Amino acid sequence: MALPTIIQVGLPDAQSDAEFISDRIKVCITPIPDFVLTPHTADGQIILTLTIKPGMKTPYYYSADGSKQAYVRIGNESIPAPDYMLNELILKGTNRTYDVVATEHTKKSVSFTLLQATYLHRTRIPFEESDFGSFGLITDDDYLTRAGTLLTDQHIVYNSRVFCTRWDGLEMGSVFEDALDDKEYEGNLIHLLTSGCDFVKNNSKVRFVKEAMERIDKPDYSERAVMEALVNALIHRDYLVMGAEVHIDMYDDRLEISSPGGMYEGPVIQERDIENVKSKRRNPVIADLFHRMKYMERRGSGLKKIVNETKKLPGYTDELKPIFRSTSTSFSVILKNVNYNLVSDQDTNQVSDQDIDQVSDQDKILAFCVSEKSKKEICDHLSYTNLTYFTRKFLNPLIENGKLKQTIPNKPSSKNQKYVRA
């Protein structure tokens, strides 16, 4: 289909039109934005160019028919700003961020033992009483800022949560039917960070390649890349979005970490050069404290760090490069399992994850079950937490192969069931 022909007709009275446009902007937009109307000639026709400069007095409201509405740009259209975006614009307009706002909670009503212990451990410097104020966790009259509420031992901020799921396969399904493991964590940001990293570690494997003089470990994911991605999700997320939390979703071939809130300023991450993303911090007080504890850097290099740490993994190829995606309401990091397509090959002495699990863990079970043991005792011995997954992957195959037997043969689901080597 042929494209329509665009005819440029120009303006017969550019001065009058400029005055009309200028007047409508001043009447309908509050506060008045910084704009410039410039007439110029193109193909013998006079046209006007309207340039609107970025403003700091957000939000800017459009008034018409007695209503007052702020708009945001989503893709190719402008829509009324949702409440949480409007609240963030209001904070920007007063030169404040979410985490500096004072709350009704007093310092004496909470405790900070995890923060103080972690700070000492990671910096070798005691967390002094004066640090609460100097780091922006309390106000001058000892009320907690929002940053402070996110770092107490108590769970004050409801949506300060991380939902973790290890899915069976390549797609998301029902947690009750398709999840091999799932956990929900809430409260202190340090607790969320360490718990999320532990969940990933417990649900991923370290394969190995045998070479002439050594054994090379091949983890599914870089631990440092995972930590960087989760720090980014917790520190830069939009806590004004209620009913939302950080999600860690693990599949056979990838790991996805998603958080509420898109890029703090500017275009979506897909349109940017990862090597040159400037640091724009939605929650600078929290970011500064995590930098002091050496969890992150101030220079906005977290995304580049995720890429570079992943590149260090044995078996990495360009197809396994991390993927970053953002919308107006969310940000996601996708880390690919570098061992997903690893095939057992005797010529190269590569051993697959399944081979390692089936041999080493089954041998451990048989060695442990010289005397009768319950399912929980066996799981605890091998550090497995998901009983359903453990039964399906290890116990059932051993029973079917006649290597392990149940002490109550006709009642496999009995609470008193125990297992012993055949």
pLDDT by residue (tens digit) across 325-337? 988 788 999 999 9
Q: Are 306 and 312 in contact (CB under 8 A)?
A: no
Nearest by Cα to 265 from 277, 285, 280: 280
β-bridge pairing 206-210 and 246-250: unpaired
63 pLDDT tier (thresholds 50, 70, 90)? confident
Element (H, E) at 40: strand 35-42
pLDDT by residue (tens digit) across 173-183? 877 778 889 99
For helices 302-311 and 223-236, the axis angle rounded to 10 degrees is: 160
pLDDT at 349: 41
Least reliable range by pLDDT among 215-224, 266-275, 373-382: 266-275
d(CA 376, CA 418): 9
Q: Are 382 and 393 in contact (CB under 8 A)?
A: no
d(CA 411, CA 207): 36
- In the 8-state DSSP scheme, what is residue 13? T
pLDDT at 93: 62
d(CA 275, CA 273): 5
pLDDT by residue (tens digit) across 99-118? 888 899 999 999 999 999 99
350 pLDDT tier (thresholds 50, 70, 90)? very low
Residue 32's CB: how many other CB atoms inside 10 A? 14
Q: Are 366 and 404 in contact (CB under 8 A)?
A: yes
Share of the chain residues as helix, strand and coil, in percent rounded to the nearest 5: 35, 25, 40
The structure's pTM equals 0.66
Classify domain 352-421 at the CATH class level.
mainly alpha
Nearest by Cα to 249 from 195, 182, 202, 306: 182
Q: Are 280 and 266 in contact (CB under 8 A)?
A: yes
Least reliable range by pLDDT among 95-104, 132-141, 229-238, 347-356: 347-356
159-192: b (≥16 Cβ within 10 Å) or e: bbbbbbbbbeeeeeeeeeeebbbbbebbbbbbbb
Q: Are 275 and 191 in contact (CB under 8 A)?
A: no
pLDDT by residue (tens digit) across 20-40? 888 888 877 877 888 888 888
pLDDT at 139: 93
User: Could you identify the residue written with the tokens 């919308």?
Assistant: 327
17 is written with which tokens? 């039109």
pLDDT at 67: 76
353 pLDDT tier (thresholds 50, 70, 90)? very low
Spell out the domain ranges in the chain: 14-82, 352-421
